[in-house]
Amino acid sequence: MILGDIALWRSWLIRCFIVLGPLGTLLTPHIFPKPFRTYYFLLPLFPLFFARANKTTFDIGLCFLPFFIYSFASVAFVEVFGFQNEEDQFFRFGLLFCHFYFALGAASYIVSAEEVKNLFSFYFRSFFVVLLIGYVFFIGYYLGAMPLALIERFSILTQFGYGFLRFSPGSYPNEFGIVCSFVLSILMLLVFSREPLHPWGLSRLQLCLWTPLTLFALCLTTTRAAYISFAASFFYLFFRFSHRIKYIFLGGIVLFFLCLQRYGLSLALSHFVQRIDEGSWGERYFVWLDAFHLFQEHRVFGLGFSALSQLHNVYLSLFFELGVLGSIILICSLGFYRIFFPPASKDLLFDTMRKIGLAHVLWFAASNHNLHHHLTWVVFFICFLPHKSSALTTRQGEASPWNPFFVFFKKDFYVD
């Protein structure tokens, strides 16, 4: 009875993680810091997933344990000897640790493709609710009915870009921009692959409604990294699938941007590209140079994990924080994971989802900080799905035997 109750809690825990993530800080009590997302409350419960986890899940967890041990020792050293550059470094370490093992453990309890689709139906609904709230904020502000102070209360960071209020309900503009790009890319994938929409909690009417609203929200975030991610995903899907409807999407997007140009919302290249000594790119470039000079004195062991959390480049942050030694440990962990736990599934739909998600996360990490963003760990959650070693149930209820390099989806899940 107790185990049954735990299994029920695990199921609800995964759903809550998926639903609360897009909401960002909209439901976070005011006493917590502004960047504290509501779903963070769930992360310390990750041990529930390891009560009956399979061998492969434990092996993957052990594969990355040396990295986390080194990172913890790095934080402890700078804290004990008073070398810390930022506050809450232990908290940031704990947050990353919980994120990783929560996503890994949660993925081990997904047993069918239908469950993945059901979870994404919850994700879409939650995102569309946030999207509507964002439009209420945006329209209310320009109608004079929504004071900026109230919008700031429900956003991590409120900014203006090109004279417009940047769209960021429950988050900050860059983060919400990349989420919009990801959602749009998945919607296009479902359409181009002729995947039935109902299992994903969508209909044609909803698709026609939410696609332009999400696209316009993406534009209002004024996030260059998100624009590039969406463009890359669109052309990748455009040339990968042969469905004629892609030409309708292409024409619709071109018409959409022509309308923006017509009504003065210019997205000219001169505004998109900046010189190295001006704008956000210039600021980040000089911050990276300053961090590099600090790193010169601590090359082997680094400056301490999370010592440069606002560097706006995850790769440089980890290298400067962990040093050469820590970076080698991280690369070895990733290498072992890639070699011994390769994705066995070549299912077109889910394999493309993984690629789109990783492209968004990895590209965004080059100019922002996203180690503690919900989208990052939703994508890794998807990547961890093929590595279950327990029996997987197909539509007919068949169970596949244990194999560390098992095939996640049977042929009947393949998309034409």
Between 266 and 337, the more confident residue is: 337
CA dist list (Å): 140 to 22, 147, 150, 163: 21, 8, 11, 16
Task: Please report whether residue 91 resides in a domain.
Answer: no
- pLDDT higher than 60, residue 278: no
pLDDT of residue 385: 85
> What angle is formed at CA 346 by the lines to CA 67 and CA 11, rounded to 5 degrees?
60
Handedness of CA 271, 275, 278, 284 (dihedral sign): positive
CA atoms of 54 and 57, how far apart (whole Å): 6
Task: Please report whether residue 7 resides in a domain.
Answer: yes
Cβ neighbours around 191 below 10 Å, total: 21
User: Which element (helix H / strand E) includes 326?
Assistant: helix 314-340
- pLDDT higher than 80, residue 346: no
pLDDT band for position 412 (cuts 50, 70, 90):
very low
pLDDT of residue 388: 41
Task: Please report whether residue 140 resides in a domain.
Answer: yes
**What mean pLDDT, rounded, does the chain reach?**
82
Note the Cα 89 to chain centre separation in Å. Answer: 21
Of the candidates 67, 117, 120, 106, which has an alpha carbon nearest to the alpha carbon of residue 388? 106
Helix-, strand-, coil-residue percentages of the chain, each rounded to 5: 65, 0, 30
pLDDT of residue 1: 41
Overall number of domains in the chain: 1
CA atoms of 316 and 325, how far apart (whole Å): 14
Task: Please report whether residue 303 resides in a domain.
Answer: no
Torsion angle of C-alpha atoms 396, 379, 353, 387, degrees rounded to 10: -40
pLDDT of residue 85: 63
Task: Please report whether residue 86 resides in a domain.
Answer: no
pLDDT of residue 117: 93
User: Which element (helix H / strand E) includes 161?
Assistant: strand 160-161
Q: Model pTM?
A: 0.85
Mean of the pLDDT values across residues 375-379? Answer: 96
pLDDT band for position 276 (cuts 50, 70, 90):
very low
Task: Please report whether residue 278 resides in a domain.
Answer: no
Encode pLDDT of 137-171 as tens digits. 999 999 999 999 999 999 998 888 878 899 999 99
Q: Poorest-confidence range of 2-11, 229-238, 353-362, 384-393?
A: 384-393
Q: Please say whether the beta carbons of 302 and 74 come within 8 A.
A: yes
Domain range for 40 is 2-52+110-272+341-387
pLDDT band for position 413 (cuts 50, 70, 90):
very low
- pLDDT higher than 90, residue 240: no
pLDDT of residue 279: 58
Task: Please report whether residue 26 resides in a domain.
Answer: yes
pLDDT of residue 235: 85
At 409, the amino acid letter reads F
Task: Please report whether residue 403 resides in a domain.
Answer: no
